[in-house]
Structure 1
Amino acid sequence: WEEGKAPDVIIELISDSTANTDKTTKKLVYQDQVRVPEYFWYDPFNPEDFAGFRLHNGVYQPLTEDEQGRLISERLGLALVRWQGVYKNNVDTTWLRWATLEGIVLPTAEEIAVQAQEEAAQAQQEATQAQQEAIQAQQEATQAQQEATQAQQEATQAQQEATQAQQQAAQAQQQLAQAQERAEQLAARLRAMGVDPDQV
């Protein structure tokens, strides 16, 4: 919308009380004075009362619905479609909605807000889940670290026990060697005294 410039498209939602004015007086005003390129009217409570006009050589020419029952706005490159649902003032009826030529209905500001709110809630849930997973991963990492530390301590203890056992074995070996040496010395003394140690 530019100040001083007529709108490209006007849509009148008509009713029994305004239909005559919208279809005659207003139509002529939009055609002859404001010179709006495209004019549509629609009665939400009488979906068959749906018409569109395009300005051609200063005169509104009626538009024909396509095979899908839509009226096409060349100015906007969009289609006007009849859509069943809840819209203004929570009224459930057949409303007029803009759609792409491929048939995708354009969301209203309220629908965009609801969708944004749902996406924000979903993002919050995903963030919470990611945080919980991070906490769980941290706990698992801490537990793994504790288990690794315990395993290291057990390995160190086993190494110490093995070293101690090795020392004890070496000590026993040394004691055995000493006992054997004493036995040999005693046998030598006995032989020096003329005594056969094997006969003692």
Structure 2
Amino acid sequence: MSLTKDPQPNLTPSPSPNAIVFPPGDLYSDEPPLESSLHLQQILLLMKCLDWLWQDRNDYFAAGNLTVYYSPHQRKSEDFRGPDFFVALDTEKRPRKSWVVWEEDGKYPHVIIELLSDSTAKTDRGLKKQIYQDTFRTPDYFWFDPDSQEFKGFHLIDGKYHELEPNEQGQLWSEQLQLWLGIVDRQLRFFLPDGSLVPTPEESAKAEQQQRIEADRQRQEADRQRQEADRRATEMETLLNRYRQQFGDLPD
């Protein structure tokens, strides 16, 4: 007599091969590694600057190398893309594992920036541009190559992308962000409408430190000038007193 128990039957029904599997809303991002450290540094720089500029705002979401799921059937296995950097407006500012369109009231990114590389440039200029135009309807699309410095931007007008014309500084305007984008020291940066550079937190702290140093220098210079004026006034008063002692009061 065997003492081994008979295996319990599996009472879980097998899914139909034609059944649609609806994934949970908290899907994880599923993007390949970035092409180089330049690409990583560029993404971090864009995120850092925008978050610093909009630190008092809670109505946007910015992310880098994060998957956007947009399947009309809400399937994880189809219709997803991973922009290198994107911004969604009029939404809650909170951490997300990915951007799931059907969990975000059907909202797609308002701004997308792709960083070109030898392996992705063709797709970024072609297939992705077509998807962002026809499916995402993303109003502002830019691409930038950290190596070759190729930089172009497009704005959606009547359902079609129209290439943006740069200003005299070679910057391109983002209607959605209300910011200029331009190249500084071979990196893509944001600029305010007046043309001033949007700083990183570190740059802002350094600028504030320099302003404090300059303010201290100016105060010290003002003190020195006051002391010099006081010294001259004292010398003049001494000379006048000597004159009065020798010649009497000065005539009117």
TM norm structure 1: 0.50
Higher relative contact order (CA 8 A, sep 6+): 2
TM norm structure 2: 0.41
Greater CA radius of gyration, 1 or 2?
1
